[in-house]
Chain A
Amino acid sequence: MASNTAPKNVVTINQKLVLLGDSAVGKSSLVLRFVKDQFDDYRESTIGAAFLTQTLPIDENTSVKLEIWDTAGQERYKSLAPMYYRNANCAIVVYDITQAASLEKAKSWIKELQRQAPEGIVIALAGNKLDLAQERRAVEKADAEAYAAEANLLFFETSAKTAENVNELFTAIAKKLPLEDKLNQARGAVNRGVNLSEARPAAQPSGSCSC
């Protein structure tokens, strides 16, 4: 992925995103579809989706650089998920619209995130494999949408195969992230001449002023 030098007045904020859901719901395909424009076939790999970054413009002055962690969906790796979501800023919980059981599993992940993930984490529920809806739909969109609304989640039905709603999903998450504090710090850093591309994200201020 070629990393363009951002114009000097654009501030880029790093955020961590974790994908959760059953195996075979298409988590990896979603990520590869989202980032694919930055990859040619030469760079794809079996674990290509394990750890990727992608920068998304939010507006003309702001970009979000998402550090995207795919997780192992198999049951025996379930206890390892905290390692990935513990510091995450946002999460996508994926189910397969052709498998009702995968939505139940997704709901259980959402409960775990609400209990144990950082407070204020932005969560999106994604019903993948929309391209199979005509012949194999097992989860009604309205049902999942109602659940998402009640739990205050973003909600999209997506198709990694056709790319439907994939960019919309990631963009909606990026726009919902609460970036004001980090933006103010980053703009302050820019004004002080700090090279942001080298700096680590600043820790949350604890009452100290940054003048």
Chain B
Amino acid sequence: MPSIDCKRLQKLAPKSPENQSKCISRLRYMVMLDQVESDEGGNSSTRPYVWAVLLNAPPRNADEYIRYVRQGPSPMAQKIQNDVSRTLVVESQFHSRVSQSSLSRLLNAYVWKRGALYVQGMNVLASPFLYACKSENQAFQFFDRLLQNECPLYVLPNIDGVHRGAKLLDKCLEVLDHRLYTYLLSKGLTAKIYALPSILTLSACTAPLSEALTIWDFLFAYGIHLNILCVIAQMFIFREQLIDHPSPMTLLRTFPPLNAKNIMKITILLISKLPPELYNLLARHAWDSEAGVLIDRLT
């Protein structure tokens, strides 16, 4: 199985500004077809470069980040500390590489920089960056980019975008798998009950982290809106157990271990079966308030 390493990445470098977008398209396709090289724990020297391109986050020096760190604990420090201590508790490799203090620093720095409230779930969203990146500063830049550009509506105090994502998940599931949708509904289960963590954290709340990183490669390549379909794909993988179980919520409390390759393959099949209008709302829900108005009106 070919994988993306620094050598292949360098061959993709644009020869001129004119073919830059073609090179990025090529990278996106490669990310989908091939894995980004990594060891079994998900460590990869290539991934930070792939993410830098896909997130459009060129290197920045650490002065800004250091300035925020020097400001010390933010007004949200206590809430951050509570969450940091229970972040990705089952991921021992994560904890051996990323200290609680670095996660705290990054989250506090974000609060200082954006004058924003800390929202629970940001701790999980920050963690893959700290695990994958070469420095805390790089992780901070990528995290800021993700939240500002890709899913600003997810990290509002009311997490409006996440709730709309849950509504869209129900709408997509209704179209894609009516039987599973109606069965879960008959048990009182909507996506707001079982899928909010997976939506908000872009599936990073489900182990193993090494597979979540590969899903993130795919989401950064094609858009984090596809995470909604990735969650449906995860459900689809244990669909028979869900439908056979009298209390499916006991199974949905913790999704099965991620299998990124199969999730990506199913997700692409799901895209091909969605009505275009629904897909359009899906593509915009995490960043476009006007789409939010339309989503809120869906019955």
List chain A positions with a Cβ less than 8 A from chain B: 1, 42-48, 50-51, 69-72, 74, 77, 79-80, 82-84, 86-87
Contact B265 A69 (CB under 8 A): yes
B21: shortest Cβ distance to chain A, in Å?
17
Q: How far is the CA of A71 from the CA of B273 in the complex (A)?
A: 11
Given known A42-B243, A45-B179, contact A51–B268 (CB-CB < 8 A)? no
A204: shortest Cβ distance to chain B, in Å?
12
Q: Which residue of chain B lies nearest to A42 when distances are taken between CB atoms in the complex?
A: B179
| B119 sits at the interface (CB 8 A) | no
Q: Which residues of B contact A1 (CB under 8 A)?
A: 240
Give chain B's interface secondary structure class. helix
Given known A43-B243, A47-B273, A50-B236, contact A82–B33 (CB-CB < 8 A)? yes
From A46, A47, A83, B33 is in contact (CB under 8 Å) with: A83
| B298 sits at the interface (CB 8 A) | no
B167: shortest Cβ distance to chain A, in Å?
19
From B175, B180, B266, A50 is in contact (CB under 8 Å) with: B266
Given known A72-B272, A83-B33, A86-B33, contact A51–B236 (CB-CB < 8 A)? yes
Closest 7 CB pairs between A and B? A72-B272, A45-B177, A50-B269, A45-B179, A47-B176, A51-B266, A77-B272
Q: How far is the CA of A71 from the CA of B268 in the complex (A)?
A: 9
Q: Which residues of B contact A84 (CB under 8 A)?
A: 265
| B1 sits at the interface (CB 8 A) | yes
Q: Which residues of B contact A82 (CB under 8 A)?
A: 33
Q: Which residues of A contact B175 (CB under 8 A)?
A: 46
Q: How far is the CA of A1 from the CA of B241 in the complex (A)?
A: 9
Q: Which residues of A contact B32 (CB under 8 A)?
A: 80, 83
Q: List 21 A-B contacts (CB under 8 A).
A: A1-B240, A43-B240, A45-B179, A45-B239, A46-B177, A47-B236, A48-B177, A50-B266, A50-B269, A51-B237, A51-B262, A51-B265, A51-B269, A70-B269, A72-B268, A74-B272, A77-B272, A80-B32, A80-B268, A82-B33, A83-B268
| Proximity string of chain B (271-289) to chain A, C-beta cutoff 8 Å, 1 when within and 0 when not | 0110000000000000000
Given known A51-B237, A69-B265, contact A45–B272 (CB-CB < 8 A)? no
A81: shortest Cβ distance to chain B, in Å?
10
| B270 sits at the interface (CB 8 A) | yes
Q: Which residue of chain A lies nearest to B183 when distances are taken between CB atoms in the complex?
A: A42
| B264 sits at the interface (CB 8 A) | yes
Q: How far is the CA of A84 from the CA of B262 in the complex (A)?
A: 9
Contact B179 A50 (CB under 8 A): no
From A42, A47, A69, B270 is in contact (CB under 8 Å) with: A47
Q: Which residues of B contact A74 (CB under 8 A)?
A: 272
| Proximity string of chain B (167-207) to chain A, C-beta cutoff 8 Å, 1 when within and 0 when not | 00000000111111000000000000000000000000000
Q: Which residues of B contact A86 (CB under 8 A)?
A: 1, 33
Which interface residue of B175, B243, B262, B269 has the most chain A CB atoms within 10 A?
A: B269
Contact A43 B265 (CB under 8 A): no
Which interface residue of A74, A77, A80, A82 has the most chain B CB atoms within 10 A?
A: A80
Contact A47 B179 (CB under 8 A): no
- Additional A-B contacts beyond A46-B273, A50-B236, A50-B269 (14; CB < 8 A): A43-B243, A46-B176, A47-B269, A50-B270, A51-B236, A51-B269, A72-B268, A72-B272, A72-B273, A74-B272, A83-B33, A83-B264, A84-B265, A87-B1
Q: Which residue of chain B lies nearest to A84 when distances are taken between CB atoms in the complex?
A: B265
A55: shortest Cβ distance to chain B, in Å?
13
Q: Which residues of A contact B179 (CB under 8 A)?
A: 42-45
Q: How far is the CA of A84 from the CA of B32 in the complex (A)?
A: 11
Contact A72 B269 (CB under 8 A): yes
Q: Which residues of B contact A42 (CB under 8 A)?
A: 179, 243
Q: Which residues of A contact B270 (CB under 8 A)?
A: 47, 50
Q: Which residues of A contact B180 (CB under 8 A)?
A: 45
Q: Which residues of A contact B29 (CB under 8 A)?
A: 79
A91: shortest Cβ distance to chain B, in Å?
15
Q: Which residues of A contact B262 (CB under 8 A)?
A: 51
